[in-house]
Amino acid sequence: MKMIINCMPRSVLSQEEADLLRELSSEEIVDLEKMSDAEGFYEKVEAVIPPFRYKAEDLAPMRNLKWVQSFSAGVNTHPLSYLKEKDIVLTNTRGVHGPQMTDHIMGMILAFSRDFLPAIRHQKERPWSYEYHLTELRGKELLIVGAGSIGQLLAKKAKAFDMTVVGLKRTPEELQYFDQVLPLEHMLSAMETADYIVILAPLTKDTRGMVGEEAFQSMKKEAVLINLGRGPLVEEEALIRALKEGRIRGAGLDVFHKEPLPEESPLWDLENVLLTPHLGGFSDGTNRRAVELMAENIKRFRQGEKLLNVVDLHLGY
């Protein structure tokens, strides 16, 4: 009998959610702590839900593997070259993280707009101070670097605050809620007028380090950078220099080059940084949406139908 195995840790996908996946998909999915626990029945494994990080060697014994379902939207931690070489289909959970990630981003934008960072410090220190840098979002320009599904939902929410929204996309197209959509090559010039710059691009060999020294030199002094894409999209040392020197107003960061963020990182102590530990994609609704999406894909897989969210292994997203 051909098998589907689930190797997501219980800390991420609970027993109840794994049982719900079985119920919704009508599939007897086998839960394993690690992929090597499939030793003895490797040849029966046709599909796998892997942990967040794994290697090609983990898949190699599964000679009949046809499909890998990622629990995340980003796939930069998957062995893409091996999957491409073996003609294994990779799908992701694109779309399930949009509501909470865009809430998280808007929360960061509002925190800077209403100067909540010093207000929180003052609440602890107890000075009655009016020395805040207070702005409003109406008319402010939001630049979304990566106008995919999450970027488009963010644009919708930003429009509720009467913001001007500019998007950057590999292949520009007219999109609802955007005042303008430009090719990624226009990033530096687009940054010159942006008040808030949100990084949502996928991490590929072409986008790694895309926001570096030249980008920070292009930003205006009042600009706020927010990264909920992937840490290596931004050159961290260049960001730290720009923040320390006051060349940009601040940064909201949920992703980093190294995670957990090392205790010695200067980012912990900078007063113009709002930092969260890579939790922007989590909420009380995330896993339910992911389970429903994966269950639908399992049904399609068994029926030989086209799967949802197939990743282009050449592009890496």
What is the rounded CA–CA span in Å between residue 62 and residue 65? 5
What is the rounded CA–CA span in Å between residue 183 and residue 57? 38
For the chain, give the number of residues: 317
What is the rounded CA–CA span in Å between residue 97 and residue 165? 21
Reduced to 3 states, what is the DSSP secondary structure of residue 81?
Answer: helix
Contacts of 242 by beta carbon, 8 Å cutoff, 6+ apart: 216, 219, 248
What is the rounded CA–CA span in Å between residue 99 and residue 117? 24
What is the rounded CA–CA span in Å between residue 208 and residue 264? 23
Give catalytic status of residue 259 as yes or no.
yes
Selected catalytic residue, list 114, 122, 241, 278: 278
Q: Which one-letter amino acid corresponds to residue 252?
A: G
Give catalytic status of residue 185 as yes or no.
no
User: Is the Cβ–Cβ distance between 244 and 218 less than 8 Å?
Assistant: no
User: Is the Cβ–Cβ distance between 217 and 208 less than 8 Å?
Assistant: no
Rg of the chain (C-alpha set): 21
Selected catalytic residue, list 230, 235, 236, 249: 230
What is the rounded CA–CA span in Å between residue 159 and residue 266? 34
Residue given tokens 């799908």 in the structure block? 91
Q: Which one-letter amino acid corresponds to residue 66?
A: K
User: Is the Cβ–Cβ distance between 60 and 42 less than 8 Å?
Assistant: no
Give catalytic status of residue 314 as yes or no.
no
User: Is the Cβ–Cβ distance between 5 and 27 less than 8 Å?
Assistant: no
Selected catalytic residue, list 133, 259, 288, 305: 259
Q: Among all residues, which ones are annotated catalytic?
A: 230, 259, 278
